[in-house]
Amino acid sequence: MSPASFDKKRVADSFSRAACSYDSVAELQRGVGHELLERLPDTNPPVVMDLGSGTGYFTPLLKQRYPQAYIVSLDLAEGMLNYAREKRPLDDTVWLCGDAESLPLADNSVDLIFTSLAIQWCEQTDRLFAEIGRVLKSSGQFVFSTLGPETLHELRTAWAQVDDQVHVNRFIDWNDLQADLPDMLQVDRFETEYRVCRYARLRDLTNELKGIGAHNMNAGQPSGLTGRARIKAFSEAYESQRHSEGYLPATYHVYYGVLSKRQTN
């Protein structure tokens, strides 16, 4: 079982509302995605999927990398897709609203799937990987980045000094992800990276999380308004983690991987 328990509708609604603000605050997401682009294969895939495409930032970059490919840009959030379709129109591209755990695509229909910082919002990763394996053609590849459990540990540590409720999104460990892989998928490459973002004020971090639509969406999160005393205690706890160079750190635990579908007769 995944440590995360997300309400899909809330996830979709949250990211839909963030469509217009996302690109302005998504520096971390762009950096990770560009790093992932470096792991794409030097092949000529006829059909490429941008899974969890968001505002469509990487969709034209995939088209640039594979100009002959037909691109499927899929996201759970309709607001994100509408924004992408309007701001980044492309030929030979279809924009689909769909769930990664139940892909609206035929079996053996996609040659390459690219997904950056999206699958961490999937609740049932066994279903996710089963769907990836189903739609990939034989020898097709799944190139992904996602977040590991140490993501935003500073935020979690600060809240832990205030109460025992869930304030920070929880993400699944690679060992658990790997255990959910079906036999048809094999791991070709896997790497871990820690990216530390620096903030002058705690408000800058919380505003950024709100701007990308990635604030707390776990089951068990506190309901209602958080009292001033608790906010003050949380702020002081986070402030105690300020680096000697003067910044407040926020660590992202990033996984990069390449999976391939085993050849079938």
User: What domains appear along the chain, each with residue ranges and CATH number?
Assistant: 8-149+170-194+253-261 (3.40.50.150)
- Would you call 112 exposed, middle or buried from its count of C-beta atoms within 10 A (0-12, 13-18, 19+)? buried
Q: What are the pLDDT digits (tens) for 137-147?
A: 999 999 999 99
Confidence band, pLDDT 50/70/90 cuts, at residue 264:
confident
Q: In the prediction, which pLDDT does 226 show? A: 55
Q: What are the pLDDT digits (tens) for 154-188?
A: 999 999 998 888 778 889 999 999 999 999 999 99
Q: In the prediction, which pLDDT does 123 show? A: 85
* Residue written as token pair 């050849």: 263
- Which long-range contacts link 98-105 to residues 24+ away (Cβ below 8 Å)? 98/74, 99/8, 100/51, 100/52, 100/74, 100/76, 100/128, 100/131, 101/127, 101/128, 101/131, 102/127, 102/131, 103/74, 103/131, 103/134, 103/135, 104/74, 105/49, 105/72, 105/135
Tell me how far apart the alpha carbons of residues 177 and 171 are, in angstroms, rounded to a whole number.
10
Mean pLDDT of 103-113: 98
Q: Are 83 and 20 in contact (CB under 8 A)?
A: yes
Q: In the prediction, which pLDDT does 11 show? A: 63
pLDDT, the chain, mean: 88
Q: What are the pLDDT digits (tens) for 14-59?
A: 655 655 666 666 788 999 999 999 999 999 999 999 999 988 999 9
pLDDT at 122 over 70: yes
Q: In the prediction, which pLDDT does 229 show? A: 86
Q: In the prediction, which pLDDT does 265 show? A: 63
Confidence band, pLDDT 50/70/90 cuts, at residue 6:
low
Q: In the prediction, which pLDDT does 238 show? A: 96
Q: What are the pLDDT digits (tens) for 194-245?
A: 999 999 999 999 888 887 665 444 444 554 445 788 889 999 999 999 999 9
Q: In the prediction, which pLDDT does 15 show? A: 59
Q: Which stretch of 9-23, 106-120, 250-264 has the lowest confidence by average pLDDT?
A: 9-23
pLDDT at 98 over 90: yes
Whether this prediction's pTM lies above 0.85 is answered by yes
Opening angle at CA 42, ends 39 and 44, nearest 5: 125
